[in-house]
Each structure stands twice: as C-alpha cells, then as structure tokens.
Chain A
Amino acid sequence: MRRAYWGLLAAVSSPAWAADAPAAPASPPVNVEAIVMFLLFVALTLGITYWAAKRTHNATDFYAAGRGITGLQNGLAIAGDYMSAASFLGIAALVYVNGFYGLVYSVGWLVGWPIILFLIAERLRNLGKYTFADVAAFRLQGGPIRIMAALSSLIVVIFYLIGQMVGAGQLLHALVPQVGYMAAVIIVGVLMIIYVTFGGMKATTWVQIIKAGLLLGGATIMAVAVLAKFGFSFEALFAEAVKIHPKHDAIMHSFTPIGGKPNPLESISLGLTLMFGTAGLPHILMRFFTVGDAKAARSSVLFSTCFIGYFYILIFIIGFGAIVMVTGNPDFIDPVTHALRGGGNMPAVWLAQAVGGDLFLGFIAAVAFATILAVVSGLTLAGASAISHDFYANVWAKGRASEQTEVAVSKIATLGLGVIAVVLGIIFEKFNVAYIVGLTFSIAASSNFPVLVMAMFWKGLTTRGALAGGYAGLLGSVLLIIIGPTVWVKVLGNAAPIFPFDFPTIVTLPLAVFLAWVVSITDNSASAAREKDAFDDQYVRSQTGLGAEGAASH
C-alpha cells in the first residue's frame, strides 16, 4: 500500500513525470493553438488585474477583496484553489493506470469540505479579519500564537508552491517543448507577482474564478464527448475499457492500486490527512474572509463542494475515456520509449486531442497552465498575508502599523515569495517532490486544524496549550515525514523507514490535541484565567456574528 500511495501522490502532485519524460522528438511542431489560447488567458487576466488594481484602496480590499465576493463566486474560487493541475492531470492519470482506484482516491479529497462547513466556515468568518491566525489570536496572546500560525502557514505555502512550480515547468515543457523548464517557471513567477501585488485578493479571486469556469467547462465537454461515444452508457464504456486496458478486469475489481496491498491503518491515516488537512490550508481558509457575512461563507462551501464533487466524477469519466481512446494510439506514444508522450501525467491532455483535435488540445493545455498560475497566486497571497498581517503588523509593530505600510509590506513579501518560489522551482527540477503534498496536508491537519477548532470550541484552551499542540503537530509531522518511507528511504536512500507510514496524521493529530489539552488544563497562570473568561464573548461573536468584520462600505 505504501508504495502504491506514493505512486499516486507522485501522479497527483504532478512532479513525477520528469523521470519518465525523455526529451521530445528532434523537432516537435510548435503547439500554436495552446500558445494563442494561453496568451488570450494572460491578456484577460492582466486586464482583470488592471481593473482590480484601480479598485484596491485599503487593506480590506487587498487581503479580502473588500469582502464583496458573493457565495457563488467564492465557491467557484475555492473549488478553483482545490482543482489544481495536479488533481486534474494527476487523478485522470491515476484512473488511466489503475482504473477504479482513481475514484476511491478522489473520494478522500472531497470529504474535508462538509467538515469545513459544519465546524469552521461561519465561525471563521465571524471571528477573523484577514488570516486564520486572527481567529486563534482572538482571545489568546497574539504574539506567540501568530508566530506559530504564520510559521506553519508559511511552511505549508512554500512547500505547496514548490510542487506547483515544478509541475508548471514540466507541464509547459512537455506541451511546448520550445519553452524551457526554467523559462516556464519564471513566466509563472512573474505573472503571479503581477496579479498579487497590483490586484491583491480581487485579482487573485477573479483569475481563480475564470480558470475554474474554463476548467469545469473543458472537463464537461471531454466527459460528454466520451460518454456520447458510448451512447451515454457507463456499462459500454467500462466494457470497452476492460477490453483495451492491459490489465483488463483488474481495473474494475481492484479498489487499491493494482498490485498493492491495503493497510487499514495507513488508509485511515491518509483519510485523516485529507479530511482535516483541507480544513487547515491557509490559502483556502483565507477565502472565507472575502465574503460579506457568515451566510455567504456557508453557501460558498455548498457551491464549492458541488463543483469539486462534480469535477471528480468528470475526471473519472475522462480517465476511462483516455483508457479507451489514448491507449495504443500511435499519435500519443513516444516512438523511442513506447511510453506515453510527454510523461505519465498526460492522458487527459491527449484525450483532449482525441476528442476535439488540435484546437481543443490547445484549449485544455492552456487551461492546465492557467490552473497552476491561479493556484500559485492564491498561495502566494496567503503566504504574504502571514508575513505582513501576522508577523509584521501584529507581532513586530504590535498593531500600530498603518494600513498603507501593512499592504506595502505584503507586496514586498509577495515579491520575495515569488522569487523564492522561482528559485526553489528551479532547484527542485530534478528532485522527486512527490512527498510535498503529503507534507503540506499533514502539517495543516496536525497543526492549523486542531488549534483552530479548539480555539473556537473549547473554553479551556490557553495560549500555552495552543502553542504546545500547534508546535507538536508542526514539528511532529515534519520529523515523522523525514524518517518515514518517502524521505528516509526514497530521498535519503536508507534501506528501511524508521516510521512506517507516509502520512503521520494518525499519530500527530491526536498528539497535538492531547498536548493542547494537557498543557491547557495544567495552566494556572493569571493570563490563562483571562483567556478562559474571554471565551464567552468570543463564543457570542462566533455564533451570532455580533461585532464581526463587516462588508466594505464602498
């Protein structure tokens, strides 16, 4: 099971295809359609950035799009953050290779959303201002709590960025071989910096909304084209796929990666990671501050859950379509290696050509690239906010910084993060960065999530308790991932892992909750007593929205 999970994460987090993507044929044709479509997307998004820049006057505009985003728009943007190129190309590739297992796998990515709705969304909106650290710091000591929350946000953001940048470089290089890996990474970095520094959250949100619309539209066309070929009968599609797929029946009968053995504990740990990690991702949590009130926060989750669930069903159909139409088609096979052209993550892209020719291939390729651009922008804004709003304005300047300075710091931070992302993207080109998605989700599930939920629900939580739990989750997941199979064995080359699972959440999440509890109940300090007293007013605000940050007046 372990090997299998990494196989799938390799596919899903997109970077693994470098290894099996040899140089393209001598002089590949220029993919004109893809380039034109992508330039159109860039022109449109730069136009939006110009529009957004003229409407971004203060910190609320910059961080939270003036709180003027509607529930439906926010639902699309959140879904867009979640539907990365990795899940579009990676899960389709997973279905292409393993059949049914792709559906089993994608289920895990959806079940975090209801949890966000039931436990977090409305309370987060009622208590916070710009970052989720606002909520944890509401009644606890702002300084140390924000340092911890911002630190874990930054670690999540930077590692997530590495995965996206490496994916962008490899994708663009595979689609348009004339563009080098490094050039692709730099293009992404520059565009993302422009969107975020000039247009702030408004531009970032609208770029994400447009991309989500294009991706859902494109995927719908592909899935319908596949089903139409089989008279809209799943049975006919499955039957044909079983006939064509080299592993035949196994694609319908194997609910784990073909050849893998299920390990229930490991499966449960993966489940916990996906379910609660989603609820701790800083760039997702930040989107809940862009809507007008708790009601809109609530409806955003319903919309995003619908879009994401629909998307995964489309991906499943697309993967089976690729089994039928891409397998064995000489157009898509590398004449030298006999592997899939462009690497293992390309089935969805080649299916686009099979159903819609060069024009549609260009469209899907441009959408896949736009997807990376949009996700990277949201991540960078979340990271920059942790630096400017938490570190600078609240910890360093102790809340006395002016809004203008805070936003200026945020823009400088964006520039810095952009440069870091480009540099790391280039450094990690040849590395297998597949473990990164697991790392980010594990940290989010073991550090951000328990601190956030306990701060909102448990009166007894004190600053010391939150710090103990949060740091234990953060350091524990980093340590266990390092001595786990992925890094210890695959990256460092040791024979056997010290910790048996890829995903440490089954250990680190309970550990974080336990430590936060023990340290809180034994904390008899005067400040702890004050923090417990302050819970009552926080509770009223979280439940009713009384005193919550309002929508912008303009």
Chain B
Amino acid sequence: MGTAQFQRVRSNPLFKELCAERDRLAWILSAILLVIYFGWVLLVAFGQDFLAQSLWPGSVATIGFPIGVGVILSAIILTGIYVWRANTRFDDLTQKLLRESR
C-alpha cells in the first residue's frame, strides 16, 4: 500500500463507476427515507383527521396504524435494499478494482 497504489485505483475507470453507483444509491435511498419520514411528521401535524379514520367501516383501528408500522418497515426495507445491492454488486466491483490496481 502506498500513494502509487492509491493513484492506480483512482485512475482505474472502475473506481469512478463504483463511487458513482454507490453514492447515487445512497443518496437516492436517503432522499426516499427523508420524504417518507418527514411526510409522516407533517401528516401527524396537519393530517390528523385523515389518520384518525377507521381502517374499515366500524373498526377501532385507524388508518394511522398501518401507516405508522409502514414507516418502521420502510426503514428496514430501505436498509435491506442497500445491503443487498452492496453485497451483490459493490463488493464484486471493489474486489475487481483492487485486483486490477495491485
């Protein structure tokens, strides 16, 4: 390991590909999460009447229940998507890049 090897990694087109792909996914998923979470925060602030509707005619459970649980599940699903993509794509790309730049 030395500056020369870092130089080789940097000039390898795979490096640009890896960074671009991973950063794009990370920022897209972050943006989705922000929209979901702050959407929920604003819904709680402004849309209480909507959230308080019965889930089906006469039910005690409200629409807010599945939506709230949905926000929790969406956090788990988004992390799952990132890990799946990283394990199947980014790790391979990194291995290949490091092999080529040795």
Q: Which residues of A contact B (CB under 8 A)?
A: 100, 103-104, 106-108, 110-111, 113-115, 117-119, 122, 234-235, 238-239, 242, 252-256, 262-264, 267-268, 271, 275, 295, 298-299, 301-302, 305-306, 309, 312-313, 536-537, 539-541, 543-547
Contacts and interface: CB of A to CB of B under 8 A. Distances in A.
Interface of B is mostly: helix
Contact of B15 (A108, A252, A312, A540): A540
Nearest to B5: A546
Interface in B51-71: 51-52, 59-62, 64-65, 68-69, 71
B72 A301 contact: no
14 contacts: A103-B69, A104-B44, A114-B29, A238-B60, A239-B60, A263-B45, A264-B42, A267-B44, A268-B38, A295-B86, A539-B19, A540-B6, A544-B94, A544-B97
Determine chain A's interface SS by DSSP, over half rule.
Answer: helix
A150 B100 CA distance: 39
**Size class of B's contact patch?**
35 or more
B89 interface: no
Given A235-B60, A540-B15, A309 B76 contact: yes
Interface string B73-89: 10110111011001100
Contacts of B48: 253-256, 262
A271 B86 CA distance: 28
Contacts of B87: 295, 298
Q: Which 10 A-B pairs have the closest CB atoms?
A: A118-B26, A253-B52, A262-B45, A264-B45, A238-B60, A103-B68, A239-B60, A111-B37, A537-B6, A302-B83
Interface in B12-67: 15, 18-19, 22, 25-27, 29-30, 33, 37-38, 40-42, 44-46, 48, 51-52, 59-62, 64-65
Interface of B: 1, 3, 5-6, 9-10, 15, 18-19, 22, 25-27, 29-30, 33, 37-38, 40-42, 44-46, 48, 51-52, 59-62, 64-65, 68-69, 71-73, 75-76, 78-80, 82-83, 86-87, 91, 94, 97-98
A256 B22 CA distance: 38
Contacts of B65: 100, 103, 234
A510 to B, nearest CB: 15
B78 to A, nearest CB: 5
Contact of B72 (A239, A302, A312): A312
Contact of B30 (A114, A264, A309): A114
Given A118-B29, A299-B83, A309-B72, A544 B98 contact: yes
A254 B53 CA distance: 11
A268 B34 CA distance: 11
A301 B98 contact: no
B26 to A, nearest CB: 4
A210 to B, nearest CB: 24
A532 to B, nearest CB: 15
Contacts of A309: 72-73, 75-76
Contact of A118 (B15, B71, B82): B82
Nearest to A271: B41
Given A295-B87, A540-B6, A545-B94, 8 more contacts: A100-B68, A106-B72, A110-B72, A115-B30, A235-B59, A252-B60, A309-B75, A547-B6
